[in-house]
Amino acid sequence: MPIYIAKTYGGEVENVVLAKSYELAQAYWQGKKIFAHSVVVRTEEDLKDHITGVMPIVNTKIIKASPFGQNKKDILAISND
């Protein structure tokens, strides 16, 4: 079953879903008010003949941040690198 990755105009990951079809993924996003600029689709076929057999979808790390430089707190940041 495919994994659909919604991305913003700037290429940032906005949402990731496992869905039976592209149309169902789009319907889900529409209900969540997510309007993907582009969508990356990942399936089992992407791993066929892959050198490691592993394909990361989303990476995270904890960063300390604050919108105004005070009261910094841990925030979980998502990366698609």
Question: Three-state SS across 9-66?
Answer: CCCCEEEEEECCCHHHHHHHHHHCCCCCCEEEEECHHHHCCCCCCCCCCCEEEEEEEC
Mean pLDDT of all residues belonging to the chain:
89
pLDDT tens figures, 18-47 = 999 999 999 999 999 999 999 999 999 999
Report yes or no on whether pTM surpasses 0.85: no
Statement: residue 81 has pLDDT above 70: no
Confidence of residue 75 (pLDDT cuts 50, 70, 90): confident
Statement: residue 57 has pLDDT above 80: yes
Statement: residue 68 has pLDDT above 80: no
